[in-house]
Amino acid sequence: MDLQVTTELFESATVVRVKGSVDGLTADSLTTALQSHVNEGRVRLVCDLSGVDYTSSAGLRALLGTLKATRQQGGDFRLAAVQPNVHKILELSGFTSILKLYRDVDTAVASFSA
Amino acid sequence: MDNLAALMAFVDRACAAAGLDSDETLAVRLSIEEICANVISHGYAKHQDGDRPITVDFMSDADEVVTTIEDRGIPFDPATAPAPMLTGDAMQRTVGGIGLHLVRSLMDEVRHEPVPGGGNRLTLVKRRVAATM
């Protein structure tokens, strides 16, 4: 299944909405999309994962790379609306201790204004 | 990678046909992806002849789902893999070893046997929730 990635710009953050499965076949396209924002200086990023029901370690690599890149430039990478299967993988991988998770996009975007 | 796409499509169909629930499907799908990606990246890394098969067998009944993955690559027992980095500062983290850690966490059994003549056979067992109630 292809991964659909769309972007919405807010004053306090950039929201990247992802739909589909993030696996070894699709993770590169997610990395490219997220990295393009970082390259253009948009380092306060929110990833809307409401449409993602699966990630493997390939997806975790994309998330970790983006987290490091944004923080290196004084920003942050935050997740919104993480679904149960993805949350389980994040927990098992120790990612819930390094990534900030929010129940929905609005809350995640607002967190950058706090 | 084209073959991996076909394999994952097969896995999705097999999980649906077997009536696996969300947890079981996650465990089976992720484990097959991680193991096969590992074989392609490491076990077959030095082989570019395009003739290195990965055989996946999938069996389920009311009690368990048993997946067997066989390759002809470099002998490798996942039990000997280095521990992944699951704690500590984000900037120091890597995802190395996390794939196999996830397989071990999501499956109830992971058994490795060397294949005579070279290669590996991994047997992954996921016990079904209804069977343990």
Predicted-complex ipTM score: 0.94
pLDDT, position B110 = 96
3-state secondary structure of B15: helix
Q: What pLDDT is attached to residue A114?
A: 76
In a domain, A114, yes or no: no
Q: In what order do the strands lie in the sheet with A44-55?
A: A4-9, A14-22, A44-55, A76-80, A100-102
The pLDDT score that the predictor gives to residue A87 is: 98
Residues B62-74 pLDDT 10s: 999 999 999 998 8
- DSSP-assigned states of every residue in A7-28: EEE-SS-EEEEEEEEESTTTHH
- What confidence category does residue B41 fall into, taking pLDDT thresholds of 50, 70 and 90? confident
Q: How far is B35 from chain A (nearest CA, A)?
A: 11
User: How many domains would you assign to chain A?
Assistant: 1
Instruction: Write the CATH number for A63.
Output: 3.30.750.24
- Mean pLDDT for B47-60 is 80
The H or E element that residue B63 is part of is none
Task: Provide the pLDDT for residue B75.
Answer: 87
Position A98 in a domain: yes
Q: Do A92 and B101 touch (CB under 8 A)?
A: yes
* Residue A106, both tokens: 């609005």
In this prediction, residues B95-101 reach a mean pLDDT of 93
Which residues face A100 on adjacent strands? A78
- Structural domain boundaries, residue A83: 4-109
Residue of A nearest to B41 (CA): A24
B88 neighbors B16 (Cβ within 8 angstroms):
no
Nearest Cα residue in chain A from B30: A56
Q: What pLDDT, on a 0 to 100 scale, did the predictor assign at position B5?
A: 85
Contacts of B12 (CB under 8 A, 6+ apart): B29
Residues of A with CB under 8 A from a CB of B: 23-25, 54, 56-58, 60-61, 64, 67-68, 71-72, 84-85, 88-89, 92-94, 97-99
Q: What is the pLDDT of residue B46?
A: 67
Look at residue A113 in the predicted model and tell me its pLDDT.
Answer: 92
Beta-carbon separation of A92 and B102 below 8 A:
yes
Residues in chain A where the model's pLDDT stays below 50: none
**pTM of the predicted protein model:** 0.93
In the prediction, which pLDDT does B130 show?
66
Locate the chain A residue with the closest alpha carbon to B3.
A25
What's the pLDDT at B42? 73
Q: What is the pLDDT of residue B115?
A: 93
Mean pLDDT of B100-123: 95
Q: Which amino acid is at A75?
A: G
Q: What percent of chain A has pLDDT over 90?
A: 97
B124's enclosing H/E stretch is: strand B120-127
Could you list the beta-strand ranges (E) of A1-114.
Answer: 4-9, 14-22, 44-55, 76-80, 100-102
Can you give the pLDDT at residue B52?
A: 78
Size of interface A-B (CB pairs under 8 A): 66
Per residue in B4-14, pLDDT tens?
Answer: 888 889 899 99
Unique residue bearing structure tokens 């998330």: A63
Question: Measured between beta carbons, which residues in chain A are less than 8 angstroms from residue B26?
Answer: 54, 85, 88-89
The residue written with tokens 């002849």 in the block is B49
pLDDT of residue A13: 97
* Cross-chain Cβ contact B90/A84 below 8 Å: no
User: What is the CB neighbour count within 10 angstroms for residue A37?
Assistant: 21
The more confidently predicted of residues A100 and B40 is A100
The architecture that CATH gives domain B2-132 is 2-Layer Sandwich (3.30)
Q: What is the β-pairing status of strands B109-114 and B120-127?
A: antiparallel
* Residue-wise pLDDT tens digits, A42-60: 999 999 999 999 999 999 9
